[in-house]
Structure 1
Amino acid sequence: MPPPRTPADIEAALAAELRTVRPALLPRYTAELPGARAAVLSRLWRGLAHEPLPWVTRREARRGGLTLRLSGGGRLDGPAPDPFGTAAGITRVELDGRAHDRPAALVAALGLPHGAGFAAELAHSTASLALSRANRVPDGTPGASWEWEQRVVDGHPFHPNCRSRPGFSVAEQLAYAPEHRAVVGLALLAVPEDGCLVTGEWPYRERGRVLVPVHPWQARHVLKDDGATGRDLAAHPLMSLRTLALPGGPHVKTALSARLTSSVRDISVYSIESAATVSAFMAATAARLDGLLHVTRTLGAVSARTPDLAAVLREPPDVYARTGERVVPVAALAADVLPRSASWLARFTRLALTVGLRLLDLGVALEAHGQNLLVVLSPDGEPLRLVYRDLADIRISPARLARHGIPAPELTGRIVTDDESVLRGKLFGSLVAGTLAATAGSTAALREALSTAAPDLPRTADLVALLEEPLPAKALTAMRLSPERPGDLWARLPNPLSAPDSVPPADHPL
């Protein structure tokens, strides 16, 4: 049977699987499809409106909307998109006068290079998002931080591939995705000790072999290996899907070579080699921030010298909560479980910028998106401290460290850079254009929070750049349409302190 080709085919194929494996969810899945299409279309239209796309020759603001002039002479017309907005209110975009309500069909109609693959991902994103919403967690206040992560039903707040999981069947999504709240059994795969790279303390060993926790999807689809020990670890999946919480124990990051949102993820040998050094350095650096930041320590890391078979153990963030406090992933703040006022958002913004800018001045740029960054809340919901996890994508500046008399760690590779644009892009793109924007939900709310918080911050060159220059953000749509270009692509969004709430200026310079 040939694979489904159109967006409608993919949505129908998921429905057919659901009818077999969980028929009770089918009516809710069908009811959630229109909202899922609008959510993905809103993210896609934001990307088309604000990212550097060579086939968009001009952007023209008009009353209540935006027109994109295309290189082939066509035009796209849609509502005015808020560059920092998370409301999924866009239900149709017109291509040469023809309305499209399915994001995948719109991309397919554009006939772009690499567009067919991207369109398929958008269709999967829409269908999987409808499934996630259909099975959302019942009301109630979570306890452990991993329970908060199950509340993040919609995935990445700005990526049109927010729930794209090609290669995962419906049964696998229900069994492995955090929003579906299953317990996942991680197989322990035995590897000869002399064939492994191990750093830190590794607790899983037997008879001269190292036991590597393996995600069941990876074992089935990538490794095709049934050489497990017969034991497994029961764990709760977290937002990243490949990282899971062991009850009462550490978090384990597994190799999961599937494309989720933008990239095919694995665990490089380099990251295993550097794990202990980076962890020790970051623990010492965070200690300079007067208790405002905790970094979850890497306890141990192992690789069978291949990115497809590796794992990392790190502290659970809950260990940094005192009696009555809660540790909440920042991405969960937008789930409306906790009340958030404008004054609360300003206090959280002040805390996040204080930590991020002080670290940047010292020489460390965090990738502080809503998945890596957690906030410690007091019993009455006040933001007290931050917790940061997953150190694989931070950037370290030896020159900035030297200015403060801090010895640079013995590291090489992409983690080390003195490029100001890279350092600021890493922090501003993740923390401000990502975390704070998603928590605020709109340009207007983000502007208010930044305006309130900024006067209390030291006026460094980094702060001036943040407040006065266009704001860097990953060009998530452009990256998916440019698979031949490795690495990140960037958009320059209007600075929320000076820009209108939605429409980019005519002939928007990207």
Structure 2
Amino acid sequence: MSRHRPVSDAEAEPVAALDAVRPALSVPYTEALPGARAAVLTRLWRALAHEPLPWITAREPAYGALVLRLADGRRLSGPPSDPYATTDHVTEVRLDDTPYDRPAALLTALGIPHGAALATELDAGTASLALSRADRGAPPATADEPPAPVWAWEQSVVDGHPYHPGCRSRPGFSVAEQLAYGPEHRPVVRLGLAAVDDCLVTGEWPAWLRDGGQVLIPVHPWQSAHVLDQKPAVSAGPAAHPLMSLRTLALPDGGPHVKTTLSTRLTSSVRDISPYSVRTAATVSAFVASVAARTDGLLHVTRTLGAVTTGSPDLAAVLREPPERYAGPGERVVPVAALPATGLPRSPSWLAGFTRLALTVGLRLLDLGVALEAHGQNLLVVLDAATGAPLRLVYRDLADIRVSPARAARHGLPVPELTGRLVNDDPTTLRRKLFGSLVAGTLAATAGSHTAMGEALASAVPHLARTPDLEVLRQEPLPAKALTLMRLTPDRTGDLWAALPNPLHEEVR
């Protein structure tokens, strides 16, 4: 038996809360806990097996298992790790002779620097994931006429990030708040409106978000309750549907998507909106749309309509076009992370076609000077509603892209006056941005295994334009964000990277 209680304090806490706010979920929540532990443990074991963690000195296969040797002489053992697998297949990891089925208990036993804080995070995240699974709803019907809106598909994404151990980490959210604001719980969220006199507005801010000389900034109710402390005063605003990112919501009747500030750490990042993002929003949106126009209609970018900031990351908002705008009759647009909910079989031929489309677009933009953060939340696919065939892509949220003025200039693209973190000409940085999000993230999670991903990549590569970026993709290990190492290195800013085995090394000679 594992040396820990069957249920931790963090796992037990929601039971009492559910008895008060949603009694019908108490039993399903308890039943979902073992699966939630396995899901988080699977992601943690992937990190231990593949990330450059300084206290792991060797990784060795042994009799159908994987053994990790630690710097202090101890050993971790678990199943072989496919870094691209998306099934919850790890139910136990052994530290020397002691088995652990709870990721938080394993981290605590390891006694590594900053491990205690991450253990607390994962314990609460396991409980949050069990709550999400307990309240799992039915996906939108694929035969909807008109097709289901994007927000309805996003509500079907229950487990969050496919590879991050903190896939459902929501610190600062009570059980009642998770039920009230988490998209997988299918709520309608009433936004607040903060009236301000002194702010920076870029793009066009609509009349309905103005009151005389004041600008009305949409505010998430969690932010209003926990951060703003009613300063400035917040009045009732429109009802909206939360999207996967939690802090971005879709207004009804095809209205814009509203990105709000949410000053808490979700998965890896604190979800604020920097003044820098607001200042550059309109310029970046126009530039990336002009670059996307060079993909022969294969990529659309949801334009930033307007952005506003008070100069503080705690109070700002961005309005974007809804992705549905780019789906025609007989088509539906679905976030890639929500593809499992569509019921599509995702056959090898379908996966090969989607991979070819995604790499054609991603590599074309990279060559033109724009490296997309094309993970399964930002990247959407337009599908033929009858056949499910992938037709085009839609990209949203430009806050984390990178722009290379040197590459753009080589193609005669007029480069806007940009400074700051968006601008980077370093080839390694640009390739990591795209390959880490699109290949090791989106395509890997869509394929679900090293083998399926390798077959899809091998099928797509012969059809792609030969560029230096493609040659690097073919020949080098795949970069992926070392998500757990980053959480265990709080004194470092910026991304840290792991080098994952490249399936193309086996599939393409």
Please tell me the TM-score bracket, short chain as reference.
over 0.9
CA distance in 2, matches of 1:310, 1:360: 30
CA distance in 1, matches of 2:339, 2:329: 21
**Greater RCO (Cα-Cα under 8 Å, separation 6 or more):** 1
Match of 1:452 in 2: 459
Match of 1:405 in 2: 412
Q: Could you tell me whether the CA contact under 8 Å between 2:382 and 2:390 is conserved in 1?
A: yes
CA distance in 1, matches of 2:432, 2:235: 46
Match of 1:251 in 2: 257
CA distance in 2, matches of 1:100, 1:114: 19
Match of 2:352 in 1: 346
Match of 2:11 in 1: 11
Unmatched tracts of structure 1, length 5 or more: 501-510
CA distance in 2, matches of 1:229, 1:175: 19
Picking from 234, 240, 246, the partner of 1:235 is: 240
The secondary structure found in structure 1 opposite 2:15 is: helix
Q: Could you tell me whether the CA contact under 8 Å between 2:68 and 2:77 is conserved in 1?
A: yes
Q: Could you tell me whether the CA contact under 8 Å between 2:139 and 2:341 is conserved in 1?
A: no
Residue 38 in 1 paired to residue 38 in 2? yes
Seen in structure 2, the aligned counterparts of structure 1 residues 242 and 344 have a Cα distance that, compared at 3 Å, is: same
Q: Which amino acid aligns with 1:272?
A: V
Q: Note the aligned Cα RMSD (angstroms).
A: 1.4
Picking from 487, 491, 501, the partner of 2:494 is: 487
Q: Which amino acid aligns with 1:189?
A: A
Larger mean CA deviation between 152-161 and 17-26 belongs to 17-26
Deviations 1:353-389 (A, max 9, x none): 0000000011110000000000000122110000000
Residue 375 in 1 paired to residue 378 in 2? no
Q: CA deviation at 1:263?
A: 1.4
CA distance in 2, matches of 1:36, 1:190: 41
Picking from 263, 266, 269, the partner of 2:272 is: 266
Picking from 205, 211, 224, the partner of 2:210 is: 205
The secondary structure found in structure 2 opposite 1:498 is: helix
Q: Could you tell me whether the CA contact under 8 Å between 2:224 and 2:234 is conserved in 1?
A: no
CA distance in 1, matches of 2:323, 2:136: 24
CA distance in 1, matches of 2:203, 2:75: 56
CA distance in 1, matches of 2:117, 2:296: 48
CA distance in 1, matches of 2:340, 2:434: 20
Seen in structure 2, the aligned counterparts of structure 1 residues 130 and 336 have a Cα distance that, compared at 3 Å, is: farther
| Structure 2 counterparts to residues 311-330 of structure 1, below 5 A | 311-330=317-336
Match of 2:423 in 1: 416
Residue 222 in 1 paired to residue 250 in 2? no
Q: Could you tell me whether the CA contact under 8 Å between 1:160 and 1:477 is conserved in 2?
A: yes
Match of 2:505 in 1: 498
Q: Which amino acid aligns with 1:331?
A: A
Deviations 1:35-94 (A, max 9, x none): 000000000000000001000011111231111111111110000010111111100000
Q: Which amino acid aligns with 2:468?
A: A
Q: Could you tell me whether the CA contact under 8 Å between 2:454 and 2:506 is conserved in 1?
A: no
Match of 1:438 in 2: 445
Q: CA deviation at 1:15?
A: 1.4
The secondary structure found in structure 1 opposite 2:300 is: strand
Q: Could you tell me whether the CA contact under 8 Å between 1:141 and 1:337 is conserved in 2?
A: no
Q: Which amino acid aligns with 1:148?
A: W
Picking from 363, 367, 371, the partner of 1:357 is: 363
CA distance in 2, matches of 1:71, 1:493: 22
Match of 1:112 in 2: 112
Residue 145 in 1 paired to residue 145 in 2? no
Q: CA deviation at 1:336?
A: 5.8
CA distance in 2, matches of 1:381, 1:172: 36
TM-score by length of structure 1 reads: 0.95
Q: Could you tell me whether the CA contact under 8 Å between 1:39 and 1:90 is conserved in 2?
A: yes
Deviations 1:448-469 (A, max 9, x none): 1001111111121111111110
TM-score by length of structure 2 reads: 0.95
Deviations 1:79-121 (A, max 9, x none): 0010111111100000011000000100011111111110011
| Structure 2 counterparts to residues 272-351 of structure 1, below 5 A | 272-335=278-341, 337-351=343-357
Match of 1:475 in 2: 482
Unmatched tracts of structure 2, length 5 or more: 143-147
Larger mean CA deviation between 337-346 and 239-248 belongs to 337-346
Q: CA deviation at 1:229?
A: 5.5
| Structure 2 counterparts to residues 72-151 of structure 1, below 5 A | 72-141=72-141, 143-151=148-156
CA distance in 1, matches of 2:341, 2:11: 25
Deviations 1:315-356 (A, max 9, x none): 000000101100000001134632211100000000000000
Q: Could you tell me whether the CA contact under 8 Å between 1:185 and 1:234 is conserved in 2?
A: yes
CA distance in 2, matches of 1:7, 1:317: 42
CA distance in 1, matches of 2:316, 2:429: 28
The secondary structure found in structure 2 opposite 1:163 is: coil
Seen in structure 2, the aligned counterparts of structure 1 residues 316 and 21 have a Cα distance that, compared at 3 Å, is: same
Q: Which amino acid aligns with 2:212?
A: R
Residue 23 in 1 paired to residue 23 in 2? yes
Q: Which amino acid aligns with 1:49?
A: A
CA distance in 2, matches of 1:71, 1:64: 23
| Structure 2 counterparts to residues 151-170 of structure 1, below 5 A | 151-170=156-175
Q: Which amino acid aligns with 1:33?
A: L
Seen in structure 2, the aligned counterparts of structure 1 residues 371 and 71 have a Cα distance that, compared at 3 Å, is: same
Instruction: Tell me the matched-pair count.
Output: 494
Q: Could you tell me whether the CA contact under 8 Å between 1:7 and 1:104 is conserved in 2?
A: no
Q: Could you tell me whether the CA contact under 8 Å between 1:342 and 1:449 is conserved in 2?
A: yes
Runs of 4+ that moved beyond 6 A? none
Seen in structure 2, the aligned counterparts of structure 1 residues 76 and 357 have a Cα distance that, compared at 3 Å, is: same
CA distance in 2, matches of 1:370, 1:107: 28
Match of 1:171 in 2: 176
The secondary structure found in structure 2 opposite 1:157 is: coil
CA distance in 1, matches of 2:223, 2:236: 17
Seen in structure 2, the aligned counterparts of structure 1 residues 305 and 140 have a Cα distance that, compared at 3 Å, is: closer
Q: Could you tell me whether the CA contact under 8 Å between 1:402 and 1:408 is conserved in 2?
A: yes
CA distance in 1, matches of 2:83, 2:340: 17
CA distance in 2, matches of 1:202, 1:188: 14
Q: Could you tell me whether the CA contact under 8 Å between 1:6 and 1:105 is conserved in 2?
A: no
Q: Which amino acid aligns with 1:123?
A: D
